[in-house]
Amino acid sequence: MTRGGIYVHVPFCRRKCPYCDFYSTTDLALAPEFLDALEFEIRRCRPDPLIFDSIYIGGGTPSLLSAADLARILAALFARLRLQAPVEVTLEANPGSVGRAGLAAFRAAGVNRLNIGVQSFQDENLERLGRIHTAGDARRVFAQARAAGFDNLGIDLIYGLPGQGRAAWRRELAEAVRLAPEHIACYMLTIEPGTPLAQAQRDGRFQPAPEEQVAGLFLETSQFLTKNGYRHYEVSNFARSGPNGACRSRHNGKYWSYRPYLGFGPAAHSFVPPRRFWNHRSLERYCATLSVGRLPRAGQERLTRSQQMTEFIMLGLRTAEGVGLAEFRQRFGVDFNAVHGAAAADLQARRLLSLSGGRWAATLRGMLYLDTVTAALV
């Protein structure tokens, strides 16, 4: 049976990063009200025949919560939903908001995978990104997490800063590899509408890196990490080898493989095919709606088969496995090659797609130009 994922959005940050467009607030005094509302939302969700095997607690900065708060959230989820062991329980952690005692307490509360938002090992870059931690904090927290018993650690890095060359980025990757995390995610710096970074660009205070520079850094990332024992299994994600892909992010894999997921918390999205629904992007409205006994739904949509086919292709091509022809036919009742075969063959001739073992997958060059690839197909 298909296993789904659970996402919990914790909307608190000490300070908003200028590039981030995820919903968050710096009003930590609202945390008790949020936790009461969140627990109520979990209790009110309709038990679905779905079975879940992953929980991802993101934000925001969920490591600002106490271990007791996290234990309370996990207890509510396990009490209400069908979770099948072993459950991957991931917590996002900011190196500037957690220490040795907190990490040990998180582990004891049931968190078994920690994703550390390092972003850079250079203090100058961290300052430019508006982060509250230093490179020293990142190294310290990683070592403390290992000492606390975490054997599944991931780190996030950001590349594509103005003036960042291949050699400088390679040094960042080398330091990440020296730490030997199970998982490394490398995200291109993007300018999201409505963020302070977007405003800085409009004002002429920030100029994004040229496209060719960013492309070179993407290729450097894949080549360097692959040579150092990491599998490039999704556009931005790399994992060490492990039994049955154990080092990959099981939860994020739900999105790419078009599996169902439930989201809890303000601005959280859910997908139970063919329905998608989402919560209010306001903590105050989220809490107020739940306080009068209603679910905090801001909207929903029912996807057509055509929309689902498009999303399945777009998400599948983000992964090294790509889109399986048999699964496509099983899900949608049509032959992929009959609908998209000519376009796929053209992309193959341009070395953007490959066909192997009954699966169409993006090449490394295809991942770099994924928007072009998906536009040609859908």
pLDDT in tens, 224-233: 999 999 999 9
In CATH terms, is domain 305-377 a member of 3.40.50.1000?
Answer: no
∠ Cα 23 83 80 (to 5°): 70
278 Cα distance to chain centroid: 17
Q: What is the pLDDT of residue 1?
A: 72
Q: What percent of the chain has pLDDT over 70?
A: 99
Write the CATH number of the domain with boundaries 3-256. 3.20.20.70
267-294 mean pLDDT: 97
pLDDT of residue 46 exceeding 90, the answer is no
163-173 mean pLDDT: 96
pLDDT of residue 30 exceeding 90, the answer is yes
- State how far the Cα of 154 lies from the Cα of 145, in Å rounded to an integer: 11
37-57 mean pLDDT: 93
* Residue among 107, 69, 58 nearest 264 (CA): 58
pLDDT band at 10 (very low <50, low <70, confident <90, very high): very high
- At position 247, the amino acid (one-letter code) is C
∠ Cα 181 157 70 (to 5°): 65
Q: Tell me the domain boundaries of the chain.
A: 3-256, 305-377
41-46 mean pLDDT: 93
Q: What is the pLDDT of residue 31?
A: 97
Cis before 322? omega within 30? no
Runs of H (alpha helix) within the chain: 31-44, 67-80, 100-109, 123-128, 135-147, 166-179, 196-202, 211-227, 250-256, 283-291, 305-316, 325-332, 336-349, 364-368, 370-377
Phi first, then psi: give them for residue 256, nearest 5 degrees: -70, -30
Average pLDDT of every residue of the chain? 96
pLDDT of residue 17 exceeding 90, the answer is yes
pLDDT in tens, 68-79: 999 999 999 999
Beta-sheet pairing, 275-279 with 269-272: antiparallel
pLDDT in tens, 183-222: 999 999 999 999 999 999 999 999 999 999 999 999 999 9
Q: What is the pLDDT of residue 150?
A: 97
Element of type H or E holding 87: strand 83-93
Number of H helices, E strands in the chain: 15, 15
334-340 mean pLDDT: 96
pLDDT of residue 19 exceeding 80, the answer is yes
147-159 mean pLDDT: 97
195 Cα distance to chain centroid: 19
Q: What is the pLDDT of residue 2?
A: 85
CA-derived radius of gyration, the chain: 21
The pTM of this model reads: 0.96
Q: What is the pLDDT of residue 48?
A: 74
- State how far the Cα of 343 lies from the Cα of 347, in Å rounded to an integer: 6
pLDDT in tens, 234-250: 999 999 987 766 799 99
* Residue among 324, 373, 328, 372 nearest 353 (CA): 373
- Contact status, residue 159 vs residue 121, Cβ threshold 8 Å: no
Tell me the two tokens of residue 338. Answer: 């009959």
pLDDT in tens, 106-145: 999 999 999 999 999 999 999 999 999 999 999 999 999 9
